[in-house]
A and B are shown apart, each in its own frame.
Chain A
Amino acid sequence: MMATSPVAEALFAAGIDFAATLPDSWIHQLLLALGADPRCIHVPLAREEEGVGVCAGAWLTGRVPALVIQNSGLLNCCNALTTLNGLYDIPLLLLVSYRGTMEEESFFHVPLGRVTEPVLDSLEIPYRVVTRADEISPAVANATHFMRTSQRPAAVLMTRGSLAQEVQ
């Protein structure tokens, strides 16, 4: 049976048709669904920063891309988001599992929780933190619309609570 994910459906409903991804346990089901669905081109990455380039190429040739990663990978993307998206004004949806907040059970993710939002502020990338599953779809729709109005990246940070149905 094909994997299903409400978050994947939210992406498709917002017009996302290209997804570059790297796994996190919270988004495992989402990545399986993206990989199995012909509504998007799915590119499994070796490292998140290359995905910023891959998604930029996809957007420049007519796709609406999302980079689906954990926030540790978001930190790997800072240079590319600045020197590529920031230099040219190239949009990108950053759909990020938000590890290290007070909901976090693993100690090694905690430093990520401290720095993620300040880093996005410094990169001048607007973001929404979603804490419930039903907030993901409108946040993704808003972020995707902002990509069109601004030609700039936008981020949706998904906490554990918002992904409760998807967490393994």
Chain B
Amino acid sequence: MMKRFECLTALAPHIGETVVITNIGGVAIEWQHLHDNDSTFYMWHSLGLATSIAFGMALSWPDRQFLVFEGDGSLLMNLGGLATVAEKAPPNLTVVVFDNQAHESPGGYPTATAGRANLAAAALALGFPVAATVETVDDFQDSVTAALARERLSMVVAKVQTGTQNVPLPAMDARENKYRFVRWVERTRGVTIIPLPGHVSKMRAQG
């Protein structure tokens, strides 16, 4: 069975200006080593919400591509959230699920995908227009790059083995990541999200 790190290594040169959101755990550590940049948001501790966060971004910024790295355990926590996403079906969102059939970080306890659960089938049933399962690195890279080019809500479920590559840990905390991400959005979109201290009192809403 392929490794997640092999998939990420193959994909990294091909994502262009796509905004990436990562799930908790090894995927964040591996991705920050391979392709850290200002437009990456690392979701460190809210298991189940990575896709919901990426979905909120994709709706709010329709002319950008968004790519979220999910996990099987986290997606199973928030399957209803997939129905919410599918109902709006933002064409600029691709959900990649690294399905290692386990809650790896706390010790490798098996999830339901180690048994009968099929996440791509669940996504299709909940209304995703495109969802497929891949088991080789070549198929992974082809499927994800095709999804990013397709301009249609898509899911790719990658069956991977457990294990995290031994790479340096991130040198940035959550708030630093937020500021870096938000300032990048502000520069790129020409908007103000976190007003500077001298401006905030002038922004008081009339009410």
Which chain A residue shows the least CB distance to B182? A60
CA gap between A113 and B102 in the complex, in Å: 39
On whether the beta carbons of A14 and B84 are closer than 8 Å, the reply is no
| Residues A43 and B203 in contact in the complex (CB < 8 Å), given A56-B53, A59-B193, A62-B193 | no
| Residues A141 and B207 in contact in the complex (CB < 8 Å), given A46-B84, A54-B56 | yes
Q: Contact partner of B205 among A20, A45, A79, A141, CB < 8 A?
A: A141
Smallest CB separation, A50 vs chain B (Å): 4
On whether the beta carbons of B46 and A80 are closer than 8 Å, the reply is yes
Q: Could you say which of A29-37, A87-95, A157-165 contacts chain B?
A: A87-95
Which chain A residue shows the least CB distance to B189? A62
* Most chain A CB atoms below 10 A, which of B54, B55, B193, B195: B193
A-B contact count (CB 8 A): 139
On whether the beta carbons of A53 and B49 are closer than 8 Å, the reply is yes
| Residues A53 and B52 in contact in the complex (CB < 8 Å), given A47-B81, A88-B178 | yes
On whether the beta carbons of B181 and A60 are closer than 8 Å, the reply is yes
B125 interface hit (Cβ, 8 Å): no
CA gap between A165 and B100 in the complex, in Å: 52
B12 interface hit (Cβ, 8 Å): no
Within 8 A of A (CB), among B175-194: 175, 177-178, 181-182, 185-186, 189, 191, 193-194
Q: Which residues of A contact B174 (CB under 8 A)?
A: 87-88
Using a Cβ–Cβ cut-off of 8 Å, how many residues does chain B contribute to the interface with A?
Answer: 46
On whether the beta carbons of B60 and A44 are closer than 8 Å, the reply is no
- Interface 0/1 of A133-151, CB less than 8 Å to B: 0000110110011001101
Q: Which residues of B contact A89 (CB under 8 A)?
A: 175, 178
CA gap between A51 and B186 in the complex, in Å: 23
On whether the beta carbons of B195 and A53 are closer than 8 Å, the reply is no
| Residues A58 and B205 in contact in the complex (CB < 8 Å), given A84-B46, A87-B45, A90-B178 | no
Main secondary structure of the interface of B (DSSP, over half): helix
- Interface 0/1 of A55-75, CB less than 8 Å to B: 111111111010000000000
| Residues A13 and B206 in contact in the complex (CB < 8 Å), given A54-B56, A90-B178 | yes
Q: Contact partner of B48 among A41, A49, A149, A151, CB < 8 A?
A: A49
Identify 24 residue pairs between A and B in the complex whose beta-carbon atoms are under 8 Å apart, listed by A's number. Answer: A18-B56, A18-B60, A43-B88, A45-B84, A46-B80, A47-B80, A53-B48, A53-B53, A53-B55, A57-B53, A57-B59, A57-B60, A58-B59, A61-B56, A80-B46, A80-B49, A83-B44, A84-B43, A87-B45, A88-B177, A141-B206, A144-B205, A145-B203, A145-B205
